[in-house]
Amino acid sequence: MRCPNASGRHVRNREILSRQFRIVIELSRHPQGLSSERLASKMGASRATVNRDLDLLRKRVGLQIERIRKTGEIWHRLAVMPLASITATPLQLAALRLARDALTPLAGTALVEQLDALLALFPAQGPTLRGLNIVGKTSRTSARVVHAIEQAIQSGKQLEIVSRVAAGDGEERCYRVDPLLLRMVGDDLYLFAWSHARGDTRTFKVTRIRQATILAEDALRHDDLDVAEAFRGAVKAWSGAHTKVRIRLKRPIAWLASEYPLVREQALEPEADGGVIVSAEVAGIAEPVRWVLSWARNAEALAPEELRTAVIGELREMLANYDADRVRSTKLSEAIRSGTSKNRGAHSNSARSTRKA
């Protein structure tokens, strides 16, 4: 007996929930309501599908979505629901503030806007929790840029962005893309998009995007794109050719390999001297190179040769920055050795003269 394909069902459920969430967001942004036809156009779905979603939101979620007839069409309007007085325990309020702090890079999205609206119901200096000190983060992303990206994704429109490029020494370049998703890794936010110039996917760090403009053209559909596969083995959010790497961490820092992993799926091989070898399949070697260098003298790239060569190249370029100091240091050492030798010679001659006397 074969089991049903649960994976496909879960993907479909996520799509339905995502569409229903987008419907609620669109209705909240249009207080006068939207027609079934307009909602269907925005969702990229049929009117029948949108009407089913609306019924589910009314019956199962309990949202008050009114039906209004305008110019021969049925419109849907999200009723304003007065909120009762809300109180929160110190622990609940601390949890909300921690959640808002963690989502700081997403400032500008509908998700954070709703959380801000909820927090606004409480005093700015509410009850505190003993033993907990929340130090807020400073957002490095532009809320305006993030908002434009989210709007383009939700509306299915192309996006024109102006972004700095690491490969171009920070030079700004203009890109026309189909935005696919926002991906948050740690405190950093990334845009995963289809680049029209490259004809392939590309990842942009949102902090490097200075400007994002929604275009009138519809984004292409990329239903065949497997996002999960694109980021399999990714260090942070960068994708690339899958490569198996081996890196040795010496004893002083071997115990930190689990706390600061290269990737979550890495394997650790303990060594007799207390060190550890980290083995992992990663997407590209750019981030593994940085990871090795971050451990300084306590890490060694073992394989593949491409990784080892890249690390050596970076180290040589780093040393080149200190060539002048090394020359001065060498000359100083030679002068010291020369002076020491002369002093020793003078001392010997003086000792011989003393003995003769």
Domain limits at 63? 11-78
* Contact of 142 with 209, CB cutoff 8 Å: yes
pLDDT of residue 6: 42
* Contact of 270 with 223, CB cutoff 8 Å: no
In this structure, are 27 and 74 located in the same domain? yes
Residue 253 neighbours by CB under 8 Å, 6+ apart: 295, 298, 299
User: Could you tell me if residue 332 is inside a domain?
Assistant: yes
pLDDT of residue 1: 38
In this structure, are 50 and 70 located in the same domain? yes
Q: What is the pTM of this model?
A: 0.54
In this structure, are 191 and 96 located in the same domain? yes
- Which residue, 93, 94, 89, 62, is CA-closest to 78? 62
In this structure, are 57 and 116 located in the same domain? no
pLDDT of residue 326: 63
User: Could you tell me if residue 66 is inside a domain?
Assistant: yes
Last residue of a domain, which of 59, 78, 97? 78
Q: What is the DSSP letter of 287?
A: H
In this structure, are 257 and 183 located in the same domain? no
User: Could you tell me if residue 344 is inside a domain?
Assistant: yes
What is the residue whose two structure tokens read 């009407």? 51
CB-neighbour burial class of residue 238 (10 A; exposed 0-12, middle 13-18, buried 19+): middle
Instruction: Give me the residues paired with residue 67 across strands.
Output: 76
| Strand extents, DSSP E, the chain | 34-35, 65-70, 73-78, 157-165, 171-185, 188-195, 200-205, 209-218, 242-249, 267-270, 276-283, 299-303
Number of domains composing the chain: 4
| Strand extents, DSSP E, 142-298 | 157-165, 171-185, 188-195, 200-205, 209-218, 242-249, 267-270, 276-283
* Contact of 212 with 109, CB cutoff 8 Å: no
CB-neighbour burial class of residue 209 (10 A; exposed 0-12, middle 13-18, buried 19+): buried
Give me the tens of pLDDT residue by residue for the chain, a chain 357 residues long: 344 444 444 446 667 877 888 888 888 888 888 998 989 988 888 999 999 999 988 887 778 899 888 878 889 998 865 545 556 777 777 778 878 888 888 888 888 888 888 888 776 655 555 555 555 555 667 889 999 999 999 889 999 999 998 777 788 999 999 999 888 877 788 899 999 998 988 889 899 999 999 999 999 988 888 777 666 656 655 566 788 999 999 999 999 998 888 888 899 999 999 999 999 988 888 889 989 999 999 999 999 999 999 999 999 998 888 877 766 666 666 666 666 555 555 555 554 554 444
User: Could you tell me if residue 235 is inside a domain?
Assistant: no
In this structure, are 212 and 289 located in the same domain? no
- CATH assignment at residue 285: 3.30.70
Q: How far apart are CA 209 and CA 216, in angstroms?
A: 20
pLDDT of residue 3: 41
Q: What is the DSSP letter of 83?
A: P
Starting at the edge strand that comes first in sequence, how are the strands of the sheet with 267-270 ordered?
A: 267-270, 276-283, 242-249, 299-303
Beta strands 209-218; 65-70: pairing state: unpaired
Q: How far apart are CA 140 and CA 321, in angstroms?
A: 30
